[in-house]
Structure 1
Amino acid sequence: MSRPESLSPLFRSLHSIKGVGDKLAALLTRFFGAPEGQDAIALDILMHMPSGVVDRRRQVGIAEAYLNQIVTLKLHVDRHQPPPRGKEHIPHRVFAHDETGDVQLVFFRAQGGWVERALPIGEERYVSGTIGFFNGEKQITHPDYIVEPDKFASLPLVEPVYPLTQGLSSKALAKLVRQVVDSVPDLPEWIDAGTLRQRQWPSFAAAMRMVHLPDAPGEAELWAPARQRLAYDEYFAGQLTLQLIRSTMVADRGIARVFSGQITESVRKVLPFSLTQGQLAAVDEIRADLASPDRMSRLLQGDVGAGKTVVALMAMAAMAESGAQSALMAPTELLAAQHYKTLKPLCDLAGLGCELLTGKMPAAERRAKLAGIASGATTIVVGTHALFQSGVDFHNLGLTVVDEQHRFGVHQRLALSDKGKHTDLLVMTATPIPRTLVLTHFGDMAVSILREKPKGRQPIDTAVLSIGEYDRVVARLKARLDDGAQAFWVCPLVEESEHLDVVAAEDRFAELAKVFGDQVALVHGRMSAAAKQEVMGRFAANEVKLLVATTVIEVGVDVPNASIMIIEHAERFGLAQLHQLRGRVGRGSARSSCLLLYKGNLSQTAQARLDTIKSTEDGFEIAERDLELRGQGDVLGTRQSGMPGYRLAVPDVHRHLLDFAHDDAKALLTRNPGLTGEDGEAARTALYLFRKDLAIPLIRAG
């Protein structure tokens, strides 16, 4: 089915709207981030929500107009006092009055006689703006509106205020908004009639009108019925998309696996520790998924060091019992190598064939490994996304495990290529994700959570200090390193950037080298993978005591002997990032510490972030706090990864609606999987309206 004809007015290019020339169209296309080679469309304007409302309804006499109030006055214009010639800095003043008093209207740099034309002497005008005082006289500097009495209706008494961009005036935008809102068609209703009545929500078109062209400021408030309705709609379209993806993923029938229990038992015996309650529960959930005829699509959440890899190993061992292979995919070769290092000795002891496949390996070695994978001799293959490229043929791939999913959105899950198409899917993440975000981004997956830390993990002492204490910090660090400790020193940027006075990693390295000589090494994102690996290797082997790094070390570096983490400019990092970085220490037997160095005066948010990190090591608590402090856009780095950033819903205010939307979408697809008939058509309209057409082809016939 193609897009319903009724939506055409909202999908027309802004270019085609009266009053939009090439320049404005290009500006709006940039502002709304339209896809490459496409124009911004009317829908972009409709979905551009006001950030507030100006209330001009206070129509009083001058005598009752108070300082800093926004008022609308009906004035009689008395005289003009233009600035003397050559004195441009003196304003043009207009004196006016009503029955109750006098007021001056003030205009700076008012050239070209337009003030005289707008406010002719002896005539009446409505003027709206903010009251100020100057030398004891009331005045309005640069009134927002000046209109003739017969055009009073054109003065917006309740005026939404929008986020703007350079070159876009609020007047031009307001004009566009009015035209677009007037063109919103009557759409089929996708919310159940009973629900609408119970929540007292308006229709979609009426809600848009109340938000963009309100009669009273309350209509446009974030918690008002109109905005709630629109937030729900946006969530609903997102949840419907995820449910469709789930039904597609799960409906590609999986295989009901049968386990003998032998291999998992031998893996359990060779583990150097016993599994935690959380790990055992996750393993059980995964086994139940594998044993059912539906495909598994599960998210395994666990904080840094919660032992996700071992749970994955148990799943892969169970898969081997049923005669199938598993693939473990990591985002980088460095991480793939690290997983392999963890798994290989255990697999060898348990008699499981485990191989690492990377892009860098010599051709002969690669050929031998590919042969093992194709024959089935290799049961577990570890690598990067390259595992799913052509030339890698599996004998019988049953399970795909993906590490670090936030680089792995909905589209990637759908595109796991044919090799991974019918396999069970387990996605592991070390970013503890708050429940709201799990619903938003992984609503198509079942979730297992590992909450407790494995035994033997040391608590980490966290302190916050000003960079002014640098000399003391270095002296203390020297003493610890002389005692045999190893430390990370993390800097935010690689090279000096003019507008941020950040001591770059290279400068910091040079400074520290004066004290520590060849005991200190540098690793940053601009280095080649081989160079990075070489430095990390020396650090892991304890040849280097101090590693100065940018955030490349954030994910998955494992050096148990490193017990000190110093984060410079900690105020520039997000909570999740600070938490990830801190998780790089505390992995060995030594008591570990983390030092957060900040510069200058901290903003409230930065202060709250550092306090949170200091007070807790629970990643899930930190993630919830992060969501409150930052809003949802960035907790997962979603801005970059094409995850749904919201335009109508504001998670802090509308979070409760996400659950409703999730349940409603689920119920709808259970009731009507083909989205046929009237309610099906209405739901499809919602998907087009919120540009989720990615999901349309997934709707199953009948």
Structure 2
Amino acid sequence: RMLRLLQGDVGAGKTLVATLAMLRVVEAGAQAALLAPTELLARQHLATLEKLCPVPVALLTGSLRAAERRLVLAGLADGSIPIVVGTHAIFQKSVAFHDLGLAVIDEQHRFGVEQRFALGAKGSATDMLVMTATPIPRTLLLSHWGEMSVSRILAKPAGRQPIRTTLHPVGRMEEIVAAVARMIRRGGRVYWVCPLVAESEAMDIAAAEARFAALAERFGARVVLAHGRQPIEIRAAALERFARGEADILVSTTVIEVGVDVPEANVMVIERADRFGLAQLHQLRGRVGRGAAASFCLLLHGDELSQAARRRLAILRETEDGFRIADEDFRLRGGGDILGAKQSGLPGYLLADAERDEDLIPMAQKDATLLLDTDPHLETPRGRAARVLLHLFEQDRAIRALVAG
């Protein structure tokens, strides 16, 4: 079975590669599923696939009406629906596939190990293709140990402009708002991202609703708001106004991290960027730089930055290379547990050391592959010894965790 990472910048063509892979699977008589983290992105994928695919494509999300859901579930069970696109609803227990041959997971960093495994487990030997601009540390560790193959799209999307990234203390808010006003007068459009929807006493970060109110006082009706607690129709209407140019500023939470494409937007303001992870920051920055105008990303941070937060923000300022950003994230946070569910942190090896034993890792991987090729059920004396070692090192769930990606 395949376990492959497809890495490429936003707009580089990952969806087209996934579409071709799914059509090959359907041609062979099996089914394919594409998992997206939000309904907005799932619906965008559906629209793309319906244009490109000569076979039926269905949508499965939590917002479907009961009658529509029953039809989709029946089609997946009897095989009449060859391709399905959806959100977390795809891997619920009630969903059964006739023969799931390929599971494609978009924005892989938005899903946990157990969630990815749940989708892969819907088929008997389901191939797994995970796609992201910034692989999570655990994925880099899997590729490092040879358990996950990696394909990279190195070319930048056509017309993609470089993005100037700058750091600013949140205390200089008046200067930042004045700079945003100047950009708007020049014809720019601005994303303003806040990490919370409601005020919280525990975390001194601005809420999207509070920031929206403050900016609306200055810019009036040219400011719109989008967050995950809104009904999807209201959120979609706000995004549509921004896309059509009827609004100059879109204040939002991370709901715009994926699935929003407005080439005219050229300014990204991320409030309290020190509270975000590297992958999220890179994804958010990727919303701008898609048009002909010069683009800017303003990372607003608290007055007192930890050393780790300062390093994270400095990496974003230095590079736009998603794989390098992921590699730095790996160094900062650790790679997690390759044989468990941790996606970052120290893996807790008992004997091996990833840096010290770097030269031995390819040899060990080839030896393990040879053992499984010649003794797939681990029944020879050497295979039984490997079983004992897996048990002694408490890695009985190893294969289950590995196949999740």
Q: TM-score range by the shorter chain?
A: 0.7 to 0.9
Are residues 542 and 363 of structure 1, via their aligned partners in 2, closer, same or farther at CA, if it must alter by over 3 Å?
farther
Q: Secondary structure at the match of 1:595?
A: strand
Match of 2:41 among 327, 332, 335: 335
Deviation at 1:598, TM superposition (A): 2.3
Task: Give the match for residue 131 of structure 2.
Answer: 428
In 2: Cα distance, 1:682 partner to 1:378 partner: 45
In 2: Cα distance, 1:639 partner to 1:553 partner: 30
In 2: Cα distance, 1:562 partner to 1:407 partner: 24
Matched, 1:399 2:105: no
Amino acid at match of 2:44: Q
In 2: Cα distance, 1:646 partner to 1:375 partner: 42
Amino acid at match of 2:320: E
In 1: Cα distance, 2:56 partner to 2:291 partner: 29
Q: Secondary structure at the match of 1:693?
A: coil
Deviation at 1:664, TM superposition (A): 4.4
Q: CA contact under 8 A between 1:441 and 1:644: conserved in structure 2? A: no
In 2: Cα distance, 1:503 partner to 1:410 partner: 31
Q: CA contact under 8 A between 2:5 and 2:150: conserved in structure 1? A: yes
Task: Give the match for residue 86 of structure 2.
Answer: 383
Match of 2:312 among 592, 597, 609: 609
Q: 1:119-141 CA deviation, whole Å, 9 max, x = no partner?
A: xxxxxxxxxxxxxxxxxxxxxxx
Matched, 1:344 2:50: yes
Q: List aligned pairs for 1:362-377, cutoff 5 A.
A: 362-366=65-69
Q: CA contact under 8 A between 1:491 and 1:548: conserved in structure 2? A: yes
Task: Give the match for residue 291 of structure 2.
Answer: 588
In 2: Cα distance, 1:651 partner to 1:583 partner: 35
In 2: Cα distance, 1:547 partner to 1:565 partner: 10
Give 5+ residue unaligned stretches, structure 1. Answer: 1-249, 251-295
Are residues 597 and 385 of structure 1, via their aligned partners in 2, closer, same or farther at CA, if it must alter by over 3 Å?
closer
Are residues 629 and 425 of structure 1, via their aligned partners in 2, closer, same or farther at CA, if it must alter by over 3 Å?
closer
Q: Secondary structure at the match of 2:206?
A: coil
Q: List aligned pairs for 1:561-640, cutoff 5 A.
A: 561-633=264-336
Amino acid at match of 1:647: G
TM-score using structure 2 length: 0.81
Task: Give the match for residue 647 of structure 1.
Answer: 348
Q: 1:633-674 CA deviation, whole Å, 9 max, x = no partner?
A: 49x9x9986778522479775562654553443344345433
Q: Secondary structure at the match of 2:225?
A: strand
Deviation at 1:570, TM superposition (A): 2.2
Amino acid at match of 2:48: T
Are residues 346 and 418 of structure 1, via their aligned partners in 2, closer, same or farther at CA, if it must alter by over 3 Å?
same
In 2: Cα distance, 1:533 partner to 1:662 partner: 48
Matched, 1:313 2:19: yes
Are residues 398 and 663 of structure 1, via their aligned partners in 2, closer, same or farther at CA, if it must alter by over 3 Å?
closer
In 2: Cα distance, 1:343 partner to 1:471 partner: 45
Task: Give the match for residue 215 of structure 2.
Answer: 512
Match of 2:8 among 286, 296, 302: 302
In 2: Cα distance, 1:399 partner to 1:440 partner: 20
Structural RMSD (CA): 3.8
Q: CA contact under 8 A between 2:194 and 2:252: conserved in structure 1? A: yes
In 2: Cα distance, 1:359 partner to 1:313 partner: 23
Are residues 669 and 493 of structure 1, via their aligned partners in 2, closer, same or farther at CA, if it must alter by over 3 Å?
same
Deviation at 1:594, TM superposition (A): 0.8
In 2: Cα distance, 1:630 partner to 1:438 partner: 12
Highest Rg: 1 or 2?
1
Deviation at 1:307, TM superposition (A): 1.4
Q: CA contact under 8 A between 2:117 and 2:400: conserved in structure 1? A: no
Q: Secondary structure at the match of 1:300?
A: strand
Q: 1:161-199 CA deviation, whole Å, 9 max, x = no partner?
A: xxxxxxxxxxxxxxxxxxxxxxxxxxxxxxxxxxxxxxx
Q: Secondary structure at the match of 1:608?
A: helix
Q: Secondary structure at the match of 1:673?
A: coil
Amino acid at match of 2:310: Q
In 2: Cα distance, 1:434 partner to 1:654 partner: 19
In 2: Cα distance, 1:310 partner to 1:369 partner: 24
Q: 1:196-249 CA deviation, whole Å, 9 max, x = no partner?
A: xxxxxxxxxxxxxxxxxxxxxxxxxxxxxxxxxxxxxxxxxxxxxxxxxxxxxx
Q: 1:76-126 CA deviation, whole Å, 9 max, x = no partner?
A: xxxxxxxxxxxxxxxxxxxxxxxxxxxxxxxxxxxxxxxxxxxxxxxxxxx
Q: 1:339-377 CA deviation, whole Å, 9 max, x = no partner?
A: 123333334xxx443333333234555566667667866
Q: CA contact under 8 A between 2:76 and 2:96: conserved in structure 1? A: yes
Q: Secondary structure at the match of 2:123?
A: helix
Q: Secondary structure at the match of 2:168?
A: strand
Aligned residues: 399
Decide which moves more: 404-413 or 445-454: 404-413
Q: CA contact under 8 A between 1:405 and 1:427: conserved in structure 2? A: yes
Deviation at 1:466, TM superposition (A): 2.7
In 1: Cα distance, 2:233 partner to 2:340 partner: 29
Are residues 479 and 341 of structure 1, via their aligned partners in 2, closer, same or farther at CA, if it must alter by over 3 Å?
farther
Task: Give the match for residue 549 of structure 1.
Answer: 252
Task: Give the match for residue 540 of structure 1.
Answer: 243
Q: Secondary structure at the match of 2:262?
A: coil
Q: 1:566-611 CA deviation, whole Å, 9 max, x = no partner?
A: 1122233332222121111122333321111223244443333322
Q: 1:531-574 CA deviation, whole Å, 9 max, x = no partner?
A: 54454344334443212223333233323332210112223333
TM-score using structure 1 length: 0.50
Q: Secondary structure at the match of 1:421?
A: coil
Q: Secondary structure at the match of 1:315?
A: helix
In 2: Cα distance, 1:641 partner to 1:530 partner: 36
Q: CA contact under 8 A between 1:632 and 1:651: conserved in structure 2? A: no
Matched, 1:674 2:383: no
Task: Give the match for residue 245 of structure 1.
Answer: none
In 1: Cα distance, 2:144 partner to 2:114 partner: 11
Q: 1:384-414 CA deviation, whole Å, 9 max, x = no partner?
A: 2434557767676543322233455555555
Task: Give the match for residue 480 of structure 1.
Answer: 183
Deviation at 1:458, TM superposition (A): 1.7
Q: Secondary structure at the match of 1:298?
A: strand
Task: Give the match for residue 450 of structure 1.
Answer: 153
Q: Secondary structure at the match of 1:427?
A: strand
Task: Give the match for residue 358 of structure 1.
Answer: 61
Percent identity over the alignment is 55
Q: 1:15-48 CA deviation, whole Å, 9 max, x = no partner?
A: xxxxxxxxxxxxxxxxxxxxxxxxxxxxxxxxxx
Q: Secondary structure at the match of 2:397?
A: helix
In 2: Cα distance, 1:593 partner to 1:408 partner: 29
Amino acid at match of 2:47: K
Are residues 409 and 479 of structure 1, via their aligned partners in 2, closer, same or farther at CA, if it must alter by over 3 Å?
closer
Are residues 361 and 441 of structure 1, via their aligned partners in 2, closer, same or farther at CA, if it must alter by over 3 Å?
farther
Q: List aligned pairs for 1:128-527, cutoff 5 A.
A: 250=1, 296-322=2-28, 324-347=30-53, 351-366=54-69, 379-387=82-90, 398-408=101-111, 411-412=114-115, 414-416=117-119, 420-432=123-135, 437-439=140-142, 443-527=146-230
In 1: Cα distance, 2:62 partner to 2:277 partner: 33
Q: CA contact under 8 A between 2:169 and 2:301: conserved in structure 1? A: yes
In 2: Cα distance, 1:666 partner to 1:322 partner: 26
In 2: Cα distance, 1:458 partner to 1:641 partner: 36
Q: CA contact under 8 A between 2:7 and 2:133: conserved in structure 1? A: yes
